Each structure stands twice: as C-alpha cells, then as structure tokens.
C-alpha cells in the first residue's frame, strides 16, 4: 500500500486535492449549464411533465419586444459600467497618497463594499424618492421639483445603474489599490531618476504595471454588468412595465413568476452565449498579456 | 575638484536615527565604494544622493549645485538598482532611452545614445528584446546601459551585483572597473561585499550604525584600520581577534597578557586613555599567522588543526589554541584562522606552532579605537 502510494503520489496527491472542487464545479456549473440548454428546448412549468418544443422558445423570444428592451438595458448597463474601472483607478490613485487622514478617507470609500447589494438598492431607492429623498432635497433647495426617476421608463435604468456603480467603483478601487501596493518601488525610483513625473510617471511607468489588475477589474465589471439582477429586483422589480428589466431579470421573472422554465432557460442560454463571446476575448487577451510581461 | 558633497546629512525614520551627520566629499572621476553591514546607512546615503530619500537635514551638492531640494531626474545622476528595476513592458532599447525621452530629446539623438551604450556593454543584439527574455547578467547590463545613456554627472550603484551568481559577479566586477576607466565618470557604489570594495574602489567609505567609520584607499584601510570594526569588516578570511590585558606600557611598547599564551609586546603610537589592567583586543590577520618558528615572533602559541580548506594556490587552516580563544571567529568557534599562501600538506588533528611578528599585530582600546597604527604596507611585502 505505502509502496503503491510512494510510486504514484506525484499524480495521486494533486488529484485527491482537486477532486472535491472538480466534483462540485462539475455538478453545479458544468452539468447545470448543459441542463439549462437542454431545458430551453422544452415547454415546462417547473413541476409537471416536460413537452418537447424544439426551437419554439427561441422563436418566441426573438419575437418578444420585452427581449429587446432587456437586451438594450443590458447594453446600457455594460456601457455605463465601463466607467467603474477608470473611476476606481482615479480613486485608488487619490487615496494612495501619503497625506494625513487618508486612511480615514480610504475606509469611507470602502463602505459600499461591505454593504449588501440589497442594502445599496434600498438606500438608493430612498435617495431617489421624489418626496423626501436626498435628490428631492437637493432639487427643493433650488426651488425645483424632483423627477420620479424610478417611475420614469426612460430614466429608470440609468438611475439603477448609477446606484449599482457605487459599489462597483469601490470594488475596482480596492483592486487597483492592491495593484498599487504591489508596484516595485525600485522601478518607480528608476522612473524618478529618469525624470518621469506626474502624468509621464503615471502613463509610462505606473499604468503599464497595473495592466494585469486592470484586466481583472474590467472582467469583473463586464460580468457584473451582464448578470445585474439583484439591484433591479430590489429597486424596481423590472418596472415600470418591464422597462428596467435586463436578460437576467427577465429570465428570473419568466421562470419563477410565470412558471415558464423552458422559456427562462432559453433566455439564460442567450445570456450565456453573450458571456462566452466576452470570456473568449478576455482569456485570449490574458494569455497575450502573460506572454508579454514576466 | 569636489564633484559630490554631502554636508552634515541627518536622516530619521520616525525616531530611528539612520544617518548621523554624514559628511563626504567625492572628487570628479573617483570610484567610491560605500561598505558596511545591513542597516549601516550606506544605501540610505546613496538614495539620499539620488533624491529617492528625503534627508532630514543637511545639504547635498552635485557639480557645484545645491540639489538638496531637487527631484532625482534633475540632479544629473543615474542609478543602477540591485533588482535591475527595468521597465518590464519596454524593450531593452526603450528602457535605455527612457531618460532621454523624458528629457524630450529628439528620437535620432536617443537612438545614437542607446546604440553607443549598447556597444560599450555588448548588448547590441538584445535591443529589441524585453527584460524577461534576458538572463540576470544581461538585465544588469541593460540597467547599466540605461545609466550610461543618460550620460550623467554621477553614477550611483546600489548593490548591483548581489543578485548574480559568483562567476558572473567576478566578470561584472572587472567590466565595471573597465567601464569606469573608459568613461572616467564619478561613480558611487554601495555593497556589503568587501571583496567588491577592495577590488573596485579608488576610495572605500566604511559605514556603521549611520556614521562613517573610516574612508581611504583600500590598502590604507586594510592595513591601517582606525578601529576594531573596520579591521573586522575588511579582509577575507576575517581578522582574528583575541582578548588581551594591558600589563605594562613603557617607551611606546605595550606589554599585554593573553590567556594561554606568553606575554606579547606591541609597539603603540597612541597611548591616550590606556592604563594598566585595561581590557584590550589584539588583532592579527590570517595571512600574518605563520606556522613554525618565525625569527622575531612577538606572538606564538601551540595549536591543533581542526579543519583544512585547500584552495589550490592557498590553504586556510582553522586551528584550536585551547585556552587562547579567538573572538567572533570566521568558523563561529574559538578557532583561529590561518591563511597560507601555498598548498600546504596539513591535516586535521595535527599539532602545530603558530607565530606572528610584532609588526603584524593590531591592538584596540576598550572602545574599539586602534592604539597602534603599524605602517605595514611596506613591511609585510
């Protein structure tokens, strides 16, 4: 036994360590993904028998005006969320300065991270309240009446995205702060000796070293934008009239509230396809970056 | 003409006093090596000259200009770091030309400067590569090339060879010395390796606990250390120290008693503060210890060989002299180190007699100050 173990432990030990994770990942992520795609070909209320529907769910989806509203909202989320990495970087550069009291300021910027997303949603729901919210107070100060942002079908998505950006920016800031901490002081020193300062130092010396972190921030932000769901559920429940729904929310709404698991699965599959495109691009960039540096 | 001047430099890290009123004058074209143990202030001094560390008080002058408040890039210096500190995302050529690019020089001029530096360091065929494709030695060449390209007033080196393997270190040592001769620039070099200090420096500056203990030509420091610290720091294998008690002082000759050996007479120049019974330290370098009877031996004792290191052209013996115990010896025991300039057929366990002449003995006061300054350079050759 021990002889057998000694001879094979080089591959047995890693296998044993990886097995539990691989098993969980296989069941919960891989198998479930295939299962979802499979379900999308059926008509199913989630409890009763499944009826084969072929591509009917997809045909219905591509004819559904709500699908295009959700898709458009997803694009709005994605575009607006792209502000999170640069703003996070700017904040990280700001709070990374060696100034008295900066530590306190830094902890203030951390706050949205420790709040549950639901809390952020509720807080912003109050801020946007047209009668007694913070926004209303500001408008009243100038003698104007605050718009009911969450009830306006044209403004609602933007209002929700702004709320969602708050923790997202903080998250990017934390990532960039970690990156800034990892900068080699010698390379910064070399840059200073070479006469780089201010903008040149940032552009030529600091930023290139933050590329890896920047990529992670970008990826997390894109994924965050595409799977956005909780904020919408808390702040608008997709309303008014589905105008703030995104694909993830529509999927949830169709499956859970309308008992249309097959249709929901079809939405999930489309969302998955969109994600795959991004992830493929991301992995290719990542590999290229790894090859360039280090 | 003085090229770099440090005037009363003090540096505090919080309450820690890292540099204590350091004064140093460097002439144009000198190769200064600052040595000392970790935390002695040598690197802090170098970074202060570079402007990478702000000093707490004092002034720094480079080429007749007070640069104390100036940015590193404006001081006319270039620095080579122990970690190479190359920009990982730039090619070798971009790395080397970055300083000139920041100075907004035309690209044609940058290309010429980079090419010239690359030729000096023989890295012309590496110019399009990125740092990670290079070996450690090549990276250090690029870092040196980056310094050359800026044609600075002063080159600063912060332990540049520490990350290289032994063979490469020896090679780069020779190359740097050659480079210094070729460029004739002022160079200030920090190392903890006393071999680098001895071989490269035109002047060594020995740091300890934030002060300059002594400075001078390598052989001057080697033969005439002002105190026990300098004597112990320079020289490999390390000098042997042994506790001694002053029994009599007469006509410039100190008579000192050693535990387990006969009384030794050492000529002293500086008798200030020496009283009978004072606890002194006697020092003798490994190569000054001879085996067998020496005609005019001042120190001699019987010992047993514990360990023999045959280095081919020389032999190092670690010998146990019983009650006569060496302090802080190379081997971590109380053994004496004896260095013979030949391949000598000694074996562990052998009993030998070890002797040294009076002119080869150092004597240090209780506060570590050297009390005899034997002019040994001529005498020992």
Q: Give me the CATH number covering residue B324.
A: 2.40.50.140
Do the chains contact at A197 and B71, CB–CB below 8 Å? yes
**Averaged over B50-62, what is the pLDDT?**
93
CB B84 within 8 A of CB B146: no
**For residue A294, what pLDDT is reported?**
53
How many helices (H) and strands (E) chain B has is answered by 9, 21
Tokens of A125: 């729901």
Same domain membership, residue B223 and residue B87: yes
B208: three-class secondary structure by DSSP: strand
**For residue A147, what pLDDT is reported?**
81
Domain that holds residue B291: 237-379
Same domain membership, residue B172 and residue B81: yes
Do the chains contact at B146 and A191, CB–CB below 8 Å? no
CB B62 within 8 A of CB B7: no
**For residue B327, what pLDDT is reported?**
85
Same domain membership, residue B125 and residue B272: no
Q: Does A198 touch chain B (CB under 8 A)?
A: no
Q: What is the pLDDT of residues A71-87, one digit of tens each?
A: 999 999 999 999 999 99
**For residue B316, what pLDDT is reported?**
93
Phi-psi region of A49 (alpha: psi -120 to 50; beta: other; left: phi over 0): beta
Same domain membership, residue B249 and residue B228: no
* Percent above pLDDT 70 for chain B: 95
| From B88, B102, B130, residue closest to A195, measured CB to CB | B102
Q: Does B250 touch chain A (CB under 8 A)?
A: no
User: Where a domain ends, among B232, B267, B299?
Assistant: B232
Q: Does B81 touch chain A (CB under 8 A)?
A: yes
| From A186, A193, A292, residue closest to B73, measured CB to CB | A193
Alpha-carbon radius of gyration of chain B: 24
Residue B1: pLDDT band by 50, 70, 90 thresholds? low
Structural domains in chain B (count):
2
| From B81, B83, B99, residue closest to A195, measured CB to CB | B99
**Residues ≥6 apart with Cβ < 8 Å to A266:** A40, A57, A58, A61
Tokens of A234: 């808390």
Q: Which ipTM value was assigned to this complex?
A: 0.82
Do the chains contact at A190 and B78, CB–CB below 8 Å? no
Buried b (16+ CB within 10 A) or exposed e, A166-204: bbbbbbbbbbbbebbeeebebbbbbbbbbbbbeebbeeb
Same domain membership, residue B228 and residue B243: no
**For residue B260, what pLDDT is reported?**
79
Average confidence score pLDDT of chain A:
88
Identify whether B237 is preceded by a cis peptide bond (ω within 30 of 0): yes
Closest-CA residue to B33 (of B182, B222, B288, B164):
B222
Among chain A residues, CA nearest to B74: A195
Distance (Å, rounded) from C-alpha A107 to C-alpha B55? Answer: 31
Same domain membership, residue B223 and residue B241: no
Find the distance separating the first CA and the last CA of chain B, reported in whole Å.
33
Same domain membership, residue B241 and residue B199: no
Looking at CA atoms only, how far is residue A246 from chain B in angstroms? Answer: 39
**Averaged over B45-70, what is the pLDDT?**
93
**For residue B328, what pLDDT is reported?**
74
Same domain membership, residue B114 and residue B7: yes
**For residue B43, what pLDDT is reported?**
92
Same domain membership, residue B223 and residue B269: no
Distance (Å, rounded) from C-alpha A250 to C-alpha B348? Answer: 87
Do the chains contact at B72 and A292, CB–CB below 8 Å? no
Closest-CA residue to A284 (of A201, A219, A206):
A219
- The continuous run of DSSP H or E covering A269 comes out as helix A261-292
**What's B195's domain CATH number?**
3.40.50.300
**Averaged over B268-284, what is the pLDDT?**
83
**For residue B379, what pLDDT is reported?**
39
| From B81, B88, B132, residue closest to A189, measured CB to CB | B81
Which has the minimum average pLDDT: A225-239, B61-75, B108-122?
A: A225-239
**For residue B374, what pLDDT is reported?**
53
**For residue B373, what pLDDT is reported?**
57
Q: In B163-313, where do the E strands start and end?
A: 186-191, 203-208, 211-216, 240-250, 253-258, 261-267, 279-284, 290-291, 297-310
Same domain membership, residue B68 and residue B200: yes
CB B146 within 8 A of CB B126: no
Q: What is the pLDDT of residues A10-48, one digit of tens each?
A: 888 899 999 999 999 999 999 999 999 999 898 888 788
Q: Pairing relation of β-strands B57-62 and B2-13?
A: antiparallel
Closest-CA residue to B73 (of A197, A204, A200):
A197
Q: What is the pLDDT of residues B131-177, one digit of tens each?
A: 988 988 899 999 999 999 988 989 999 999 988 888 888 888 998 99
Same domain membership, residue B250 and residue B272: yes
Same domain membership, residue B151 and residue B56: yes
Among chain A residues, CA nearest to B99: A194
Residue A189: pLDDT band by 50, 70, 90 thresholds? very high
Q: What is the pLDDT of residues B299-326, one digit of tens each?
A: 989 999 999 999 888 999 999 988 888 8
User: Does residue A177 surpass a pLDDT of 80?
Assistant: yes
User: Where a domain ends, among B217, B232, B247?
Assistant: B232
**Averaged over B108-118, what is the pLDDT?**
93
Q: How many CA atoms lie within 13 A of A251 on its CB side?
A: 22
Closest-CA residue to B138 (of B153, B125, B154):
B125
- What domains are there in chain A, each with its CATH number? 64-292 (1.10.3720.10)
Contacts with A208 from chain B: Cβ below 8 Å: 87-90
Which has the minimum average pLDDT: A145-149, A233-237, B355-359?
A: A145-149
Distance (Å, rounded) from C-alpha A120 to C-alpha A125? Answer: 8
**For residue A234, what pLDDT is reported?**
87
Distance (Å, rounded) from C-alpha B282 to C-alpha B273? Answer: 17
Residue B376: pLDDT band by 50, 70, 90 thresholds? very low
Distance (Å, rounded) from C-alpha A63 to C-alpha A209? Answer: 47
User: Where a domain ends, among B209, B232, B255?
Assistant: B232
**For residue A1, what pLDDT is reported?**
66
Number of neighbouring beta carbons within 10 Å of residue B74: 13
């Amino acid at each position: 036994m021990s002889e057998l173990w000694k001879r094979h432990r080089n591959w047995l030990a890693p296998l044993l360590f990886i097995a539990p994770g691989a098993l969980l990942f296989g069941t919960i992520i891989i198998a479930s993904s295939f299962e979802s795609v499979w379900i999308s070909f059926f008509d199913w209320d989630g409890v009763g028998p499944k009826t084969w529907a072929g591509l009917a769910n997809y045909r219905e989806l591509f004819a559904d005006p709500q699908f295009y509203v959700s898709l458009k909202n997803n694009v709005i989320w994605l575009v607006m969320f792209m502000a999170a990495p640069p703003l996070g970087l700017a904040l990280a550069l700001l709070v990374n300065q060696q100034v008295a009291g900066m530590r306190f300021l830094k902890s203030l910027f951390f706050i949205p991270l420790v709040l549950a997303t639901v809390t952020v949603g509720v807080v912003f729901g109050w801020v946007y309240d047209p009668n007694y919210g913070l926004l209303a107070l500001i408008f009243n100060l100038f003698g104007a009446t605050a718009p009911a942002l969450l009830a306006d079908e044209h403004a609602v998505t933007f209002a929700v995205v702004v709320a969602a950006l708050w923790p997202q920016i903080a998250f990017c800031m934390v990532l960039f702060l970690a990156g800034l901490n990892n900068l080699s002081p010698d390379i910064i020193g070399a840059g200073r000796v070479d006469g780089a300062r201010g903008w040149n130092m940032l552009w030529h010396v600091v930023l290139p070293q933050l590329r890896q972190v920047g990529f992670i921030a970008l990826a997390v932000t894109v994924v965050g934008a595409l799977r956005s769901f909780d904020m919408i559920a808390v702040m608008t429940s997709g309303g008014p009239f589905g105008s703030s729904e995104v694909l993830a929310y529509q999927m949830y709404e169709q499956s859970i509230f309308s008992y249309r698991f097959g249709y929901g699965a079809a939405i999930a599959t489309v969302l998955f396809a969109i994600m795959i495109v991004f992830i493929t691009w991301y992995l290719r960039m990542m590999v290229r970056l790894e090859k360039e540096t280090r | 003409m003085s090229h770099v001047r440090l005037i009363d430099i003090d540096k505090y890290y919080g309450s820690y006093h890292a540099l204590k009123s350091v004064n140093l004058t460097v002439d144009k074209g000198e190769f200064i090596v600052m040595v000392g143990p970790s935390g002695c202030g040598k690197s802090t001094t170098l970074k202060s000259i570079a402007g990478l560390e702000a000093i707490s008080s004092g002034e720094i002058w480079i080429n007749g200009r007070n640069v104390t408040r100036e940015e590193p890039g404006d001081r006319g210096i270039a620095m080579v770091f122990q970690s190479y500190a190359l920009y990982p995302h730039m090619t070798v050529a971009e790395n080397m030309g970055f300083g000139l690019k920041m100075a907004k020089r035309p690209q044609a001029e940058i290309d010429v400067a980079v090419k010239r530096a690359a030729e000096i360091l023989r890295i012309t065929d590496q110019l399009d590569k990125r740092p990670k494709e290079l070996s450690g030695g090549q990276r250090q060449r690029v870092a040196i090339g980056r310094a050359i390209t800026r044609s600075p007033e002063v080159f600063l080196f912060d332990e540049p060879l520490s990350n290289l393997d032994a063979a490469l270190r020896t090679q780069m040592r020779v190359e740097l010395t050659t480079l210094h001769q070729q460029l004739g620039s002022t160079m200030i070099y920090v190392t903890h390796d006393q071999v680098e200090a001895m071989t490269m420096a035109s002047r060594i500056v020995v740091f300890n606990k934030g002060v300059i203990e002594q400075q001078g030509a390598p052989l001057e420091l080697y033969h005439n250390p002002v105190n026990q610290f300098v004597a112990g720091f320079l020289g490999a294998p390390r000098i042997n120290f042994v506790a001694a008690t002053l029994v009599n002082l007469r006509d410039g000759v100190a008579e000192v008693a050693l535990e387990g050996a006969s009384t030794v007479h050492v000529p002293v120049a500086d008798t200030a503060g020496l009283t009978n019974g004072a606890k002194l330290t006697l020092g003798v370098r490994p190569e000054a210890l001879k085996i067998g009877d020496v005609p005019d031996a001042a120190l001699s004792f019987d010992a047993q060989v514990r360990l023999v290191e045959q280095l081919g052209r020389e032999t190092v013996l670690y010998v146990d002299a019983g009650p006569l115990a060496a302090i802080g010896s190379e081997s971590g025991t109380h053994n004496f180190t004896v260095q013979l300039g030949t391949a000598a057929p000694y074996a562990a366990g052998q009993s030998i007699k070890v002797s040294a002449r009076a002119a080869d003995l150092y004597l240090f006061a209780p506060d570590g100050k050297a009390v005899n300054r034997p002019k040994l350079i001529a005498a020992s050759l």
